[in-house]
Amino acid sequence: MSEESADLTPPQHIAIIMDGNGRWAKKRLQPRFMGHRAGVKSVETIVKRCIERNVAVLSLFAFSSENWRRPSKEVTLLMELFALSLKQQVKQLHKNNIRLQIIGDVSKFSASLQKQITQAEQLTIVNTGLIVNIAANYGGRWDITQSVQQLAEKVKTGEILPEDITEEAISAGLTTSKIPEPDLFIRTGGEQRVSNFLLWQMAYTEFFFTDTLWPDFNGTELDKAISSFCQRERRFGKTSEQLRDNK
């Protein structure tokens, strides 16, 4: 791809699979939990850098619908860390004009964690800066399924017809319906897979993989991903010539 055809528009929405916490801890002969704790620090760093880079939405995969399969002690510690981080960070996020949103099936969380989530979302709902979208008990297949189920209910009541189940209608029922689709997807920790993250929403997202473990991921690393993104040509099915001639 030639330099001049590069898309220099920075990503509006960055979605990250924050992977590698466990291996980071293992390398230091520490329990996995220490890696998760160190990972929270990276979240703070990356949120700051996203604000500096004028990113509109940052989506972070914190806990997948498959992560319940981990040893129950790790799951409990992750839930506690989530609750503690919310408690410690919400005021600061609010001060920084950040809007916090949680996507995922939160009904599986404890009542107190659910309450904390609702309070954090309500407190920051008025904010107009960066949207931080935390995916917790999230699965891409779950998201699509719950959207289609809502539509099926409407078909049942006669509110809509089967042919009204369009791509737009399915998109409108997703947990991310109010935010743009991710422009750039980053996965740290060396694995090159999507692990049931934003499946529908990433149909045209640019992917960036790095071996850096999440607790080591920092502003410079984010900048590398952003500059890689800026050198790509997003064709959305068209040809380079069409893009150049604006057709």
Contacting residues toward ligand IPE, per CB under 6 A: 17-23, 61-64, 67, 78, 189, 191, 193, 195
Q: How far is the CB of 22 from Mg ion (least distance, A)?
A: 6
Burial class (CB in 10 A: 0-12, 13-18, 19+), 105: middle
The nearest distance, CB 17 to Mg ion, in angstroms, is: 8
The nearer residue to ligand IPE, 5 or 142, going by C-beta atoms, is 142
| Site membership for Mg ion, residue 206 (CB under 5 A) | no
Single out the catalytic residue among 67, 96, 127, 218.
67
**Quick one: what does residue 78 bind among ligand IPE, Mg ion, none, with the CB cut-off 5 to 8 Å set by partner type?**
ligand IPE
Helices (H), the chain: 21-27, 32-52, 72-95, 111-124, 140-156, 167-172, 219-230, 240-244
Q: Mapping DSSP to helix (H, G, I), strand (E, B) and coil, where does residue 107 land?
A: helix
Q: Which is nearer to ligand IPE, 30 or 149 (CB)?
A: 30
Is residue 17 involved in binding Mg ion (CB under 5 A)?
no
* CA–CA gap between residue 39 and residue 219 (Å, rounded): 14
Q: Which does 234 bind (CB under 5 to 8 A by kind): Mg ion, ligand IPE, none?
A: none
- The option from ligand IPE, Mg ion, none interacting with 193 (CB < 5 to 8 A, set by class) reads ligand IPE
Closest to ligand IPE by CB, 22 or 182:
22
Query: In the complex, which residue's CB is closest to ligand IPE?
Result: 22
Give the range of 11-19, 58-66, 83-91, 112-120 binding Mg ion by CB under 5 A.
11-19
| Structure tokens belonging to residue 3 | 């330099």
Task: Report CA-CA distances (Å) from 186 to 42, 60, 240.
Answer: 14, 10, 25
Q: Is 67 a catalytic residue?
A: yes
Q: Given the complex with ligand IPE, which of 142 and 234 has the nearer CB atom?
A: 142
Retrieve residue 6's tokens.
């590069």
Residue 25 Cβ vs Mg ion, minimum distance, rounded to whole Å = 12
Does 218 participate in catalysis according to the annotation?
no
Query: Angle at CA 11, nearest 5°, toward 99 and 137?
Result: 50
List residues bridging with 60 in a β-sheet: 16, 134
In angstroms, the CA 209 to CA 15 distance is 12
Using DSSP's 3-state secondary structure scheme, residue 135 falls into: strand
**Rounded to the nearest whole angstrom, what is the least distance from the CB of residue 93 to ligand IPE in the complex?**
20
Which residue's CB is nearer to ligand IPE, number 151 or number 197? 197
Using CB under 5 A, pick the residue from 11, 14, 16, 19 that binds Mg ion.
19
Residue 102 in 3-state DSSP? strand
Q: Could you tell me the smallest distance in angstroms from the CB atom of residue 196 to ligand IPE?
A: 8
The first and second tokens of residue 204, run together, are: 């045209």
Residue among 216, 190, 157, 195 nearest 24 (CA)? 216
Residues that bind Mg ion in the complex, under the rule CB under 5 A: 19
Active site positions, annotated = 19, 67
